[in-house]
Amino acid sequence: MESMIKILKDIIINEYLKKGKDPFPSIIGQENAKRQIIASLLAGRNILIVGPPGSGKTTLAKDIANILPPIRFPKGIPRWAFPEFPFTPKEYINAWKNGDFYILEGKDRFIRIQGSYDLTIEDLIGDIDPSRAMKYGIHSLESFIPGKIFYAHKGLLFFDEINRAPPKIQNALLQLLEEKKLIIGPYEFEIPIDIIFIATMNPEDFYGTEKLSDVLLDRFDIIFVDYPKNIEEEKTILYKYGKSFVEFPEELIDLFLSFIHDLRRDEKLDRKPSVRASLGIYEKSQTLAIIDGKEKVELKHVYEALLSVLPNRIKLKPAYKLEMNEDKYLEKRWNEFLIGRTFRK
């Protein structure tokens, strides 16, 4: 069977580029980022998507998984039990020859690893099962329990916030990224892993992040994404993904999105509001209108939603936090923002 990289390359060229179709329909805007991702996928490269929270990194990775072709998989066996793995039991291998099969879509082969300080190598690669080791011996492959990387075989391995993982995890990925192979601790032989590898990271100044080593970064194509560049793009996202309960006058949507974009340019903020914050304001303004028995959103509902949704989604720089907290800062900025603006009630 051809490698997933070769298969994905053929699909992108024949099903999307030649037909003028967008392989990433879930993403509004971000045209340069999408172009760069397509180029990296065609070149068979590992991809590191860099951008602030809520800028579409995970959605981009899921769109890539969605275009993977379906595969046949035997019923009744674990998702990691491919016949090419030396630790796959004989009864599972027999299922590949004689069993009943079902279709496993690309989206079902999207395996996510969440970067965190307590992530272990065993979580990624696997571990020795003590009870099996007592029965078969610690060096027997029968004792090995595969980790998440093996579940991603013939699929997409998505490592979210890779710069939150400790250095030992970063080092464990080097061979996988370079050679698409793994060495399982005590067994001392290489196992091929056929995957598409996509990682994300927040900017390095975000709390709880680790600096990525140069040797790890050298194994990635780095692609930057950001929040929507204008109000119209973000409004399209709201209409596409936000829930609609009552009428929301467009001028009020434009108003609060203008405020959001102002906050993203605010030099006093360490953390800026994401698109998730905009979606939260969009939906909560409507539910507040429902509570008041209104048929459409009013300015007071937008203001109330702002003060509920935004305080925990922004962060003042330490020098300014001494003067006021985020709640008070939002009240002040909103009142300043409204000066000179006119709108219908």
What global pTM score does this model have? 0.89
Strands 195-201, 47-50: pairing is parallel
Q: Which helix (H) or strand (E) holds 233?
A: helix 231-241
Give residue 28's identity as a one-letter amino acid code. I
Q: What is the pLDDT of residue 342?
A: 67
Count of CB atoms situated within 10 Å of the CB of 25 = 9
Q: Which residues of the chain are modeled with pLDDT < 70?
A: 1, 138-140, 185-188, 204-209, 342-345
- Tell me phi and psi for residue 40, to 5 degrees: -65, -40
Q: Compute and round to an integer the Cα radius of gyration of the chain.
A: 24
* Total residues found in the chain within this entry: 345
Using DSSP, state whether 4 is helix, strand or coil: helix
Q: What is the pLDDT of residue 208?
A: 57
198 and 155 Cβ atoms separated by less than 8 Å: no
Q: Which residues make Cβ contacts (< 8 Å) with residue 110, sequence separation at least 6? A: 61, 62, 65, 155, 156, 158
φ and ψ of 18, to 5 deg: -70, -25
Distance CA 40, CA 234 (A): 26
And the tokens for 104? 């496993």
State CA 223 to chain mean position distance: 13
Please tell me the distance from the alpha carbon of residue 310 to that of residue 327, in angstroms, as a whole number. 8
Contact 65, 112 (CB under 8 A): no
Give the closest residue to 82 by CA, choosing from 139, 3, 2, 151.
Answer: 151
pLDDT tens per residue, range 179-192: 999 887 666 678 89
3-class DSSP assignment, residue 322: coil
Angle, alpha carbons 339-344-345 (nearest 5°): 95
Three-state SS sequence of 108-128: HHEEEEECCCCCCHHHHCEEE
